[in-house]
Amino acid sequence: MAEIETKTIYFVSDDALATFIRAGWEVVALRSVGATGTLWAGVLSRRIPPDRPTRAHAEIGARIRHARKALDWTQMELAGEIGVSQTEISHYERGSKPLTQDVLDKIANALCIPTDLLLSGETP
C-alpha cells in the first residue's frame, strides 16, 4: 500500500499551484490567507509509489546500521557477506533505496538477527 505524503504551501500565483498539480499533488484544502486575497495557502497530498523510499526505509536502514556497528563491521564487510556493493549498503542504511525482501533476508541472516527486528524494531 502506498504511503501518503502531505505538505502545506503558500503561493501568490496560480502558476505555483499548477506546478504542484502537474507533479502529481492533489489539493486537499485551499484558502486565502492574505488581507488582499493575493496570498493563498494550500494543503496538498500525493501517494508515494511503493518503490520510492519512505520514512520506513530510513528507519529500517538505521536498524541495519545499528546491527552492523554492533558487530563492528564496516559497510564493505556487510556488502561482501551479502554480495552487493558498499554503495548499495550505504543507500539501504540511509533509506534512499528500498530493500527487496531477498536483500532484507540476506542482511538479517548476515547480521544474525530476525527480519522482524529490522522491519519493526521488535521481535515476535
CATH number of residue 13's parent domain: 3.30.70.2000
Q: Which residue has the higher pLDDT, 2 or 99?
A: 99
Supply the CATH number for residue 88's domain. 1.10.260.40
Give the pTM.
Answer: 0.59
62 and 109 housed in the same domain: yes
pLDDT of residue 43 exceeding 60, the answer is yes
Mean pLDDT of 50-63: 78
Range of the domain at 75: 55-120
Supply the pLDDT for residue 45: 85
Supply the pLDDT for residue 5: 77
63 and 32 housed in the same domain: no
Buried residues in 102-119 as b, exposed as e (16+ CB within 10 A): ebbebbbebbebeeeebe
State the pLDDT confidence band at 51, using cuts at 50, 70 and 90.
low
The helix-helix angle for 101-111 and 55-70 (nearest 10°) equals 20
108 and 86 housed in the same domain: yes
How far apart are the C-alpha atoms of 41 and 30, rounded to whole Å? 6
State the pLDDT confidence band at 29, using cuts at 50, 70 and 90.
confident
83 and 113 housed in the same domain: yes
Distance spanning both ends of the chain, measured CA to CA = 23
How far apart are the C-alpha atoms of 29 and 34, rounded to whole Å? 16
Supply the pLDDT for residue 78: 97
